[in-house]
Every structure is written in structure tokens, then in C-alpha cells.
Amino acid sequence: MIYVRSFVFLVLFNLFSTLLAVGMIPLYVFPSRATRVGIRLWGVIGTVLLRVVCGIRTEIRGREHLPAGASLIAGKHLSMYDTCAPFLFLPDTAFVMKKELTVIPLFGWYCLKGRMIVVDRDGGSTALKKLVADSRDRFADGRQVLIFPEGTRSKLGEPGDYKPGIAALYRELDMPCCLMATNSGAHWQNKSFLKIPGAIVFEFLPPIPPGLKRGAFMKELEERLETASNALLAESFPPPS
């Protein structure tokens, strides 16, 4: 049954995503906020289909740590769902994305129009300076900058390779770093169309205060994100009784 429900989800999600992408074309003549409303609707479609078709609900924990205005958020990245779900519970997300995604027809164009933050991963120090400058620009609009420090989706239960972009933002912006743990990959599997029933949890942890040295910051960031995400994964895969 999981295979059937997963296939039905795949068909419906791709169908509705395509219809939405085409329907959003007229939004290009409006300010970027209108495009972000369309992207938020994409997150709604995915979330509803997960619940109705696959029996996967979305749960937000640590709401007392959920940022409202301009803020820096570092999130664990385990599935595609991590890129669309935050639009449902963050007021105005600007997520950091790799440059290669911008060439995807419609999706990449909407991300550019919605003023997401594009990073050239081969750009070295120039790319880091641009990342900081673009983040400051989004903060001026009161947006939440969401970055996945690993740069790509990691395998379940394995520590990610944390890149220096988050450390540069933390140092240069001199502001707290909010943390978002998740178990999304346990239910929306990476490199598989299977959708496993249960609860996808996004848990916001107490923020890391500004002012830590780079090494101390990266150590605390990785330890806390990995520990919390692994705990959520353990809930999805409880040991046999």
C-alpha cells in the first residue's frame, strides 16, 4: 500500500506543482512578495497531499524559539520537503540555494523573482562576501534567512559536512543563530519516491547567542543540530519492543 500511495502522491504533487508553476507566470509583473505567496502555496499543496494521500502529518516543535522578524536560521537538510515546508511556518523566508538550481525552468526563475539567496559554491571568498551582503539586504526587509549548513541533503543518521557559509554569516552579521532540526528524510526519503507514514517534525532549538569564536560556534551548531535531528529520527524508527 505504501508503494501505491507514494506513486499517487508523486503523480498528484508533480501535476499540481506544474499547474501552479504555469499559473504563477502572471505574477512576474507584480512585486516579489506576490511570487513568494505562490511559493508558499506550493508548500501548502505538498503538506496537504502528504497528509491526505500518504498519512504523513507535519509537526512544529519549539514554537517559543520560532523567529519572527529578521533572523538567521541554520537547518538540518534531509529531504526536498525542507525547502518548501518552512514557507508555512516562517513569515517571510529567504532560503540560501545553490546556483545550479536557478536554471530549472520556472522553479529557479521563481526563486530568483522571490529574492532567494543564490550561492556559487565554487566562488570562494567572493561568494561568501556576496552571501553576507545578500543576507543583510534580506534582513533589511525583515525576512528570515534559512541556510542548510551542509549545502546538500545528508544521509539518515550520518553527520553532514558542514560548510563555512554559516560561520561567515554568524560572524559578519553578529546576531543569534536559530537552529531547526528535522527528521524529514525518514518519511520523505532522499533518492526514493517512497513516502513513509508518520510525522515529519521540524523542531526549533534555543538559538546560539552571537559572539562565539568560529571553532566553538561550528562545534556547538553541529552537535546540537545532529543530536536533536537524530533524536527525532529515533522517534520515527523506534527499536523493536
CATH number 3.30.70 is the correct assignment for the domain at 2-236 = no
CA 168-43-46 angle, 5° bins = 130
pLDDT at site 240: 47
Which grid cell is 73? 536560521
How far is it, in rounded angstroms, from Cα 219 to Cα 83? 24
Q: Which amino acid appears at position 47 of this protein?
A: T
Q: What is the pLDDT of residues 158-172, one digit of tens each?
A: 778 888 889 999 999
The confidence score (pLDDT) of residue 68 equals 84
Q: Are β-strands 198-208 and 177-182 bridged in parallel, bridged antiparallel, or unpaired?
A: antiparallel
> Which segments within the chain are labelled E, that is strand?
56-61, 71-75, 93-98, 117-119, 144-147, 177-182, 198-208
Contact in structure between 73 and 117 (CB atoms under 8 Å): no
How far the first Cα of the chain sits from its last, in Å, is 24
pLDDT in tens, 186-236: 999 887 889 999 999 999 999 999 999 999 999 999 999 999 999 999 988
pLDDT in the model for residue 109: 86
59: three-class secondary structure by DSSP: strand
Give the SS3 label for residue 118: strand
In angstroms, the CA 59 to CA 187 distance is 13
* pLDDT band, very low/low/confident/very high, at 241 (cuts 50, 70, 90): very low
- Which candidate, 237, 229, 232, 200, places its Cα nearest to that of 51? 200
The backbone torsions φ and ψ at residue 206, rounded to the nearest 5 degrees and listed phi first, read -55, 135
2-56 confidence digits (pLDDT tens): 999 999 999 999 999 999 989 988 887 888 888 888 889 999 999 999 999 999 9
Task: Tell me what pLDDT residue 143 has.
Answer: 94
Residue 151 has pLDDT above 90, yes or no: no
Tens-place pLDDT, residues 95-148: 998 888 888 888 888 888 889 999 887 777 888 899 999 999 999 999 999 999
Which residue has cell 524559539? 65
| Tens digits of residue pLDDT in 64-91 | 999 888 999 999 999 999 988 999 999 9
